[in-house]
Amino acid sequence: MTKGGTGVASRSVASLQSILNHAVRLDIIASNQGAGARKIAGKKKERRLSVAEIKKLGEALQYGRQHGEHSTALAIVELMLLTGYRISEVQGLQRYWLHSEGGYVQFPDTKTDGQIRAIGPAAIKLVENQPVFKSSPYVFPSDITNGPFTAGTACLARLCHRAGIEGVTPHTLRHTFGSVAGDLGFSELTIRALLGHATRGVTQGYVHIDEALKLAVTRTSDEISKLLNERNMYA
């Protein structure tokens, strides 16, 4: 009798999907027949923003832009949601780490050491639209020190209060990005790669910024960007 419960069952499906995806990339098979297989939800539950809450946060961002909220703080919150990056990674982001043409950010040091992480066009545009200060390498420099801006969490709290959304932390935005990617049908392995989680088992060694990963990050960030701007697009 098989043992392990729903967690093992879910990871087994994800591993099979990843193997089949890799076989498609190598032209061994024409298509991934397991792409639509549903994984059994485990007991662990994390807070994510619903579609309605993402739209409300978009309205709060727009309100903040029009009513004096710090533009750097607003951009930090939006970039967290468009990338799934950790708040420390967003606030500490340096311009030369971004490789726009390649669609990736090369972090020299993260929670799991140096990483190359995919980034979508919507997020790249947001980064490139930030003012450039020759005296600072940071995308989001501090107004009062030589370091990065560090008030993103406080801004997020104000936005959520304005939107009437409770229980939101920077990690909620990270989990929301991964959840939206899952809603769009991307595999657990792909989502782990997007979020910068270490890979393990038979999948280790071939996850990189290939076209499949670029497609996943583009579709996910575009979907979130659309939701953030949906209620304001005709204003």
Going by C-alpha positions, the residue among 11, 9, 31 that lies closest to residue 20 is 31
Tell me which amino acid residue 81 is.
L
What pLDDT, on a 0 to 100 scale, did the predictor assign at position 103? Answer: 94
What pLDDT, on a 0 to 100 scale, did the predictor assign at position 2? Answer: 57
200 burial via Cβ count (<10 Å: 0-12, 13-18, 19+): exposed
212 burial via Cβ count (<10 Å: 0-12, 13-18, 19+): middle
Q: Quick check: helix, strand or coil at residue 235?
A: coil
Per-residue pLDDT of the chain (235 residues; tens, 9 = 90+): 555 666 667 777 878 888 988 888 888 998 888 887 876 665 556 899 999 999 999 999 999 999 999 999 999 999 999 999 999 999 999 999 999 999 999 998 755 567 889 999 999 999 999 999 988 999 999 999 999 999 999 999 999 999 999 999 999 999 999 999 999 999 999 999 999 885 543 333 344 578 889 999 999 999 999 999 986 543 4
How far apart are the C-alpha atoms of 76 and 141, rounded to whole Å?
11
What pLDDT, on a 0 to 100 scale, did the predictor assign at position 231? Answer: 64
pTM of the model: 0.76
What pLDDT, on a 0 to 100 scale, did the predictor assign at position 22? Answer: 80
How far apart are the C-alpha atoms of 220 and 195, rounded to whole Å?
12
Going by C-alpha positions, the residue among 127, 123, 129 that lies closest to residue 219 is 123
How far apart are the C-alpha atoms of 205 and 195, rounded to whole Å?
16
Name the CATH superfamily housing domain 51-232.
Intergrase catalytic core (1.10.443.10)
180 burial via Cβ count (<10 Å: 0-12, 13-18, 19+): buried
Write the DSSP assignment of 149-175 as a string of letters.
Answer: ---HHHHHHHHHHHHT--S--HHHHHH
- Are residues 15 and 32 in contact, defined by beta-carbon separation less than 8 angstroms? no
Q: What length does the chain have? A: 235
Q: Quick check: helix, strand or coil at residue 223?
A: helix
Buried b (16+ CB within 10 A) or exposed e, 185-199: ebbbbbbbbbbbbee
Tell me which amino acid residue 125 is.
K
